Amino acid sequence: MANHKSSLKRIRQDQTRRLRNRYYGRTMRNAVRNLRNATDKQEAEKALPSVSKMIDKLAKKNFIHWKKAGNLKSKLAKHVNSL
């Protein structure tokens, strides 16, 4: 166990950030998966802007790389247009 006050605080902060990052990542992956599994074009077109917005926010926070975000959005848009 850590002895310094700053080490104890760092452990608490790391735990909080880890849980937050897991939530963001899981939420994004579920949204992308649901959009890819969508068969109704109207529902997919409704969901695409919110998923794109989520991906953009995560790229801005460096949770995912900005090029990966662009690739994801491109593939999702392509999928929705092909429905």
Q: Would you write out the chain's pLDDT as a tens digit for each of its 83 residues?
A: 778 999 999 999 999 999 999 999 999 999 999 999 999 999 999 999 999 999 999 999 999 999 999 999 999 999 999 98
- 11: Cβ contacts below 8 Å, ≥ 6 apart: 2
Q: Is 52 within 8 Å of 58 (Cβ atoms)?
A: no
Instruction: With beta carbons less than 8 A apart as the criterion, state whether 35 and 52 touch.
Output: no
* CA-CA-CA-CA torsion sign (60, 66, 70, 76): negative
pTM above 0.85, yes or no: no
72 CB neighbour count, 10 Å cutoff: 18
> Contact, 69 vs 59, CB < 8 A?
yes
